[in-house]
């Protein structure tokens, strides 16, 4: 019952894609459905060769003929899986080997339907290398669903906060992990600008709507996600 679908949505990140997929293949939670969706990259043939070069039967590939956005790629991936849990991973980032197992454990222990984790800011490749060996702590720190709801509800109503808000602890929106039935009953990713006031990110919009509507979101207060800040998809908007 703990099979996890990991959607890796790619658009022009061939430079990082192989390492990104590898970091999911090497997770210590082995029951995975890894879905690489290429969102109409101009060099899609190169993407195809990268994915074909990964010899793991858990990896599936869905090439899209046109670029429609990350929201569409995510919905495409999750519509194609029979896994009981869904999450995502950016094509230019790295998940430490214990990320998936720690989030699944948190979902189970807190009996929540939705979970996010923290991340390490990586501004260059030295930052990435310096954090690759970060180990899983013996005891996982968690923010409860009551605390998460209070923070997100307060942040949503605060002028100037345009992303998913969890106080002093930063979460990675892409780390969103949720029970598949949440998606099955109609909770979808929206195009930017068509959801709530959290307009700048499909991830933030989805996570905010899910948290406020279900009040069943926990936060893994650890940082098993390495977030490259200076690639095209991760630069802050001005």
**pLDDT given at position 199:** 56
Higher pLDDT, 161 or 130: 130
Q: How many CB atoms lie within 10 A of CB 58?
A: 15
- Give me the mean pLDDT over the 68-77 stretch: 95
Mean pLDDT over 75-88 rounds to 98
* pLDDT confidence band for 192 (50 / 70 / 90): confident
Q: Is residue 123 part of a domain?
A: yes
Residue 238: inside a domain, yes or no? no
In a domain, 51, yes or no: yes
The answer to whether position 237 is within a domain reads no
Backbone angles phi, psi at 94, to 5 degrees: -130, 130
- Where helices occur in the chain by DSSP H, the ranges are 14-25, 44-52, 70-79, 99-110, 125-131, 145-156, 180-184, 202-214
Residue 180 located in a structural domain: yes
Evaluate whether residue 119 is within a structural domain: yes
Alpha carbon separation from 182 to 109, 124, 126 (Å, rounded): 18, 36, 38
Domain count, the chain: 1
Q: How far is CA 191 from CA 29, 60, 205, in A?
A: 31, 24, 9
pLDDT tens digits, one per residue of 92-141: 999 999 999 999 999 999 999 999 999 999 999 999 999 999 999 999 99
Share the mean pLDDT of the chain.
92
Q: Is residue 89 part of a domain?
A: yes
Per-residue pLDDT tens digits for 39-56? 999 999 999 999 999 999
The CATH number of the domain holding residue 42 is 3.90.550.10
234, part of any domain: no
For 46, the domain range is 4-228
d(CA 62, CA 72): 12
C-alpha to C-alpha distance for 65 and 84, rounded to whole angstroms: 28
Question: What was the pLDDT predicted at 234?
Answer: 39
Using pLDDT thresholds of 50, 70 and 90, give the confidence band for residue 179. very high
43, 14 Cβ separation under 8 angstroms: yes
């Amino acid at each position: 019952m703990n099979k996890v679908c990991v959607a890796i949505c790619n658009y022009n990140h061939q430079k990082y894609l192989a390492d990104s997929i590898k970091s999911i293949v090497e997770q210590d939670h082995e029951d995975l459905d890894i879905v690489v969706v290429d969102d109409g990259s101009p060099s899609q043939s190169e993407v195809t060769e990268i994915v074909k070069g990964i010899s793991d039967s858990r990896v599936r590939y869905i090439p899209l003929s046109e670029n429609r956005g990350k929201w569409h790629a995510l919905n495409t991936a999750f519509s194609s899986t029979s896994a009981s849990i869904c999450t995502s991973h950016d094509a230019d980032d790295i998940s430490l080997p214990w990320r998936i197992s720690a989030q699944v454990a948190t979902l189970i222990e807190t009996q929540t339907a939705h979970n996010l984790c923290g991340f390490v800011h990586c501004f260059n490749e030295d930052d990435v290398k310096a954090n690759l060996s970060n180990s899983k702590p013996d005891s996982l720190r968690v923010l409860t669903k009551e605390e998460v709801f209070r923070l997100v509800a307060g942040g949503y109503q605060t002028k100037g906060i345009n992303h998913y808000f969890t106080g002093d602890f930063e979460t990675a929106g892409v780390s969103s992990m949720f029970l598949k039935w949440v998606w099955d009953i109609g909770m979808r990713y929206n195009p930017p600008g068509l959801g709530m006031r959290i307009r700048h990110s499909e991830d933030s919009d989805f996570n905010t709507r899910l948290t406020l509507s279900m009040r069943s979101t926990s936060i893994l207060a650890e940082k098993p996600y390495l977030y490259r800040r200076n690639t095209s998809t991760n630069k802050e908007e001005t």
